[in-house]
Structure 1
Amino acid sequence: MNYKTHSPVLLLLFNRPDTTRRVFEAIRLAAPARLYIAADGPRKDREQEAVLCVEAKEVVNHIDWPCEVKTLFREQNLGCKEAVSSAIDWFFEQEEEGIILEDDCLPSNDFFRFCDQMLERYRFDTRIRHIGGSNLQQGKQWGEASYYCSNLTHVWGWASWRRVWQQYDKELTAYTAEDVQNAFANIFTEPIIVNTWVQMFKQLNAGQIDTWDYQLTFINFFNNSLSIIPNVNLISNIGFGDGATHTIDAANRYASLPHQPLGNIVHPLYIVPQKQADYNTLAYDFDVERIKRKNAKLHRRIKRWFKNKR
């Protein structure tokens, strides 16, 4: 029998009716009593996008379970950064806690059970700021419990509380690049990872990245917070490839990861971050080993040059 969630759910839409329908069907099985649906408007320079946006929003017509439905449908395109962050603002203005799904993040039914239990268990534990549904560890499990703690913030299907989102700032106005450099040096020991995060911060401040999620990641880092990560994968990102805004590489190893059964939820004894798990993720995402090899090769060339000059 399908698990029925106790938590309100926010579904974020745009221009992908195909993936939207699949994510909606998973939500339908979980039958939340309160469903929020937010959609960005079409871009003026994209032919046929208006039609796709209308088709995506038609999922609201297929709600056939007892449910309070609220919608926030934008007529004009706001872009990823503004559309998503303002939709989450709208959600947490009305809810103390809840689940957030984008239109390409396909949840397993266990995902809703996991989020319900984690939201309740850590509701007042300010160490915990984020509950993720994705496991990107390629089969590696950390400990014997059903989940582990991380410093990273995975947003392919997640849950959180108003107490966390109230501190969100899409412009990161409280932070400077100099402070960020020092802060990341206290979080990560690998200089390549530190420098990559600093560069991303600078690009965000310069308006070169139209996104909302890095900001949440930075704020969680700087609050020394923990995320809950399941030891099995509960979210399949089905949006990689043509039509995606950011996840365009269909061959990416994170594309369409299969769901895995959660089983009975066992809680860890120690609430500390699994630093090696985070390094494994970032080493792949930031291509750390290739950069190390490149830097080592350059160092050898410089050393030979000086030797020949003597």
Structure 2
Amino acid sequence: MVDVRRSTTRSRSWSAWAGTREELLKIGTELERLYAQRREAILAEYDRETDSIVKELKDSGDERLAEIRRERRLGDRADYEGRWHLSLTLTDGVEDATGSVSDVFPEFDRRTHTKVTFVGSIDMIGKSEPDYLKVEFRKLHQEAVFLHVRSTDPGWARQVVSKMSDEIGAGAPWWAFLYRPWGRGLLQGVSWFLIYYSLYLLFSPIFAANKASVSRQVWGLLAIFGATLVLTYSANNKRSLNWMLPNFEVTDGGQSTGTRFLFFVAGLALAFISGIIVNRVS
């Protein structure tokens, strides 16, 4: 008989996430439920194996060995059950706090913690690799949320990805696409346009008033262009972008920082365009 062992690995990531403390805890609670579901299924399978082994030994007439094996496996089961728990790790850059979700989550501080990790592993003697579940939230990272699940039960792995995609996806802000390569390009283009024309409208009247020579006007335009490049880079580097559009933010229930910032920029752009139209008409 051929012994074939199968497993599946699934992953998914989100470029930005913003939600309340309660919504973050809800994700942890749902992960605990899914993890417990898989743990109970594995323990039930282990119990069936124990019953089968004990029955086989008893049928062969070796009652004493059957009792020894049963007690040994019950001891292993208690050890497994004691070790198999979903844990939460909070990281603030210099310190980690790890424990159960109920014990550690009350310590969460949205101002200082930069990483929140939910992780659970179900390892058993005789299994080639453990079942594994992990969801990690990180500030200043390419991906704000990362989900990874590995299991010998493909159905359970699909259920985890489907359910957690709904839970985590509910907190993905509408502007999350700005963290994608094409979104970053769009943001840089808009930034360059606004900065360049703001500087041009600010300084071009000076050239005209002073009746500067052509060469000075060229140098002036080059200076504006150079300043635009520097300011655009400064506004779009990793830290500046995360300050304006935090990729992982736990809010107090109001709008996220990124949403407020984009509405502010949209208001400025509208005022800027309106000013140009008014000047043209007048």
TM over 0.5: no
Q: Structure 1-normalised TM-score?
A: 0.22
| Rg comparison, structure with higher value | 2
TM-score when scaled to structure 2? 0.24
**Structure in which a larger fraction of residues adopt helix:** 2
Which one scores higher on RCO, CA 8 angstroms, separation ≥ 6? 2
